[in-house]
Amino acid sequence: MKKKKLKKRIKVYGIIFFLLLLIVIGFNYSKLEIATDLNFNLNETVEKNDLVKKVKHGELLGKEESIDTSTLGEKNIPLQFKTIFGFKKTYKVTIQISDTEKPHISYNPIKNSKLNQEIDLTNGVSVSDNSNENIKVQVEGEYDIHKLGEYKLYYIAKDSSGNEAREEFTLNIVSDSSVSKNESYFTTSKGFQGVVRDGVTYIEDTLIVNKSYSLPSTFGNGLTNETLASFKELQAAALLDGLNIYIASGFRSYDRQVTLYDNYVKRDGKEKADTYSARPGYSEHQSGLTFDVNEVSDKFINTPEANWLSENCYKYGFILRYPNGKQDVTGFKYEAWHFRYVGKELAEKLYNNGDWLTIEEYFGIDSVYPD
Ligand SMILES: [Zn+2]
């Protein structure tokens, strides 16, 4: 009799235990694992998805809903989760929004001013920031408008979170005649003479565009006649060797580059986009001296056309602008399809018997974005 009662009791407890176990397992089997880093930047694009490390056996509802990151501070975000058993759970997630991004200063790295003339160095300088606040730029450094010379000064812009951008620029106090031509001169690290004329940089008559030297937004209106004529010669020569080379992308205006670059940044982020697409004003395609040929992708590398171009383009005044292994120098990865007209004399020097030199190495200049 006693034995029977005990057995029954064990059975009941066993069932209760088993049910409890099921519930516990059920809850843990199907759950959200919240991300460990919940710090985001002001106005950063964040989706509910980004707050979760792992969705375990269930579904995060509204995972592509964006989260408002336009105000600083802590924020509670409810996440709705549907378990595999069909019931809903709400997770309260606290995120932190702060601003760690520096403002961006748009400025001309070289400014000219006439001797003895008062100058407003912040004129034409603009500041943008992810905080969308109105930031005034300040000038640091000493100069004397009554003395001819070259002064190294800084533009400084600080957002309300204390992030500071600091950009060096040169103020040239020059005589009347240089100012009227809107020219200023500089010397490269290899001793070449450079000139900035109406915002366009030339070294020994070669127009320079890279991450350090930009073009004014109004510059350019198509491939230059010299570039086109030389390309036709090159194209004809390639055809004799049985190869078809054509321009896939030639001149690109400043405005076109704005659209392109913005799209790439949206897709891949700024850091990645900067390795393959130029920022507006910094694209060589705006110069009218540059084009991409045939297949504008890594698939073009080592094709008969790419090899022919690398060995022969200099004969027509073109250079392989971004050679393999020179990313640290040019700021761009290897682009087997991107060619630049520089004229036969310089092209042959840069061809360097097949061991391509870059414009940056040859002239002794940098290619680094100002921020
Ligand atoms: Zn290109």
DSSP codes of every residue in 121-152: TTTT-EEE-TT------EEES---TTS-EEEE
Supply the CATH number for residue 164's domain: 2.60.40.10
- Please indicate, yes or no, whether residues 356 and 267 belong to a single structural domain of this protein: yes
| Structure confidence at residue 28 (pLDDT) | 74
Query: Residues 231-284: pLDDT tens digits?
Result: 999 999 999 999 999 999 999 999 999 999 999 999 999 988 988 889 999 999
Q: How many domains does the chain have?
A: 3
**What digits encode the pLDDT tens for the residues 167-188?**
999 998 887 766 666 778 888 9
Residue 370 falls inside a structural domain: no
Q: Within this chain, do residues 73 and 161 fall inside the same structural domain, yes or no?
A: no
User: Pick from 98, 114, 149: which residue ends a domain?
Assistant: 98
CA 87 to each of CA 3, 31, 81: distance values in angstroms, whole numbers, following the listed order: 42, 11, 8
Which pLDDT score, from 0 to 100, does residue 185 have? Answer: 83
**Terminal Cα-to-Cα distance of the chain (whole angstroms):** 88
CA of 291 to the centre of ligand 1 (A): 6
Same domain flag for 287 and 172: no
Same domain for 336 and 234: yes
**Cα 284 to averaged position of ligand 1 atoms, centre (Å):** 7
Question: Do the domain assignments include residue 187?
Answer: no
* Average pLDDT value for residue range 318-333: 96
> Does 86 share its domain with 141?
no
- 242 contacts: CB under 8 Å, gap ≥ 6: none
Summarize pLDDT for 65-93 with one digit per residue, the tens.
Answer: 999 999 999 999 999 999 887 888 899 99
What's the 133 CA to ligand 1 centre distance in angstroms? 35
Tell me whether residue 140 is one of the annotated catalytic residues. Answer: no
304-312 vs 225-240: helix axis angle to the nearest 10?
Answer: 120
What confidence score (pLDDT) does residue 280 get? 93
CA of 205 to the centre of ligand 1 (A): 22
Assess whether 256 and 357 both reside in one domain.
yes
Cα–Cα distance, 245 to 185 (Å, whole number):
39
Does this model's pTM top 0.95? My answer is no
With CA atoms as reference, report the closest residue to 234 among 223, 226, 245, 224. 245
pLDDT at 1 exceeding the cut of 60 = no
Q: Is residue 199 part of a domain?
A: no
Residue 205 within any structural domain of the chain: no
Q: How far is the CA of 361 from the centre of ligand 1 (A)?
A: 19
Across the range 122-144, mean pLDDT stands at 90
Same domain, 333 and 236: yes
In a domain, 86, yes or no: yes
Does 142 lie in the same domain as 51? Answer: no
Q: Give me the domain span that covers residue 138.
A: 104-181
Q: Is residue 325 part of a domain?
A: yes
Q: What is the distance between the alpha carbons of residues 190 and 152, in angstroms, rounded to a whole number?
A: 20
**CATH number of the structural domain spanning residue 301:** 3.30.1380.10
Q: Which residue has the tokens 């490269």?
A: 188
pLDDT at 96 exceeding the cut of 90:
yes
Q: Is residue 371 part of a domain?
A: no
Residue 248 and residue 358 in one domain = yes
Per-residue pLDDT reduced to its tens digit, 335-345: 999 999 999 99
Average of per-residue pLDDT across 133-158: 93
351 in the same domain as 232: yes
Q: 368 in a domain, yes or no? A: no
Last residue of one domain, picked from the residues 149, 181, 213: 181
Last residue of a domain, one of 98, 113, 138: 98
112 and 69: one domain?
A: no
Report percent pLDDT > 70 for the chain.
97
pLDDT, position 299: 96
pLDDT at 178: 63
Catalytic pick among 167, 284, 305, 335: 335
Give the distance (Å) from ligand 1 centre to CA of residue 256: 13
Interval 299-318: pLDDT, tens: 999 999 999 999 999 999 99
9 pLDDT higher than 90:
no
- Does one domain contain both 80 and 109? no
Look at residue 295 in the predicted model and tell me its pLDDT.
94
Say which residue, 128 or 243, is predicted with more confidence.
243
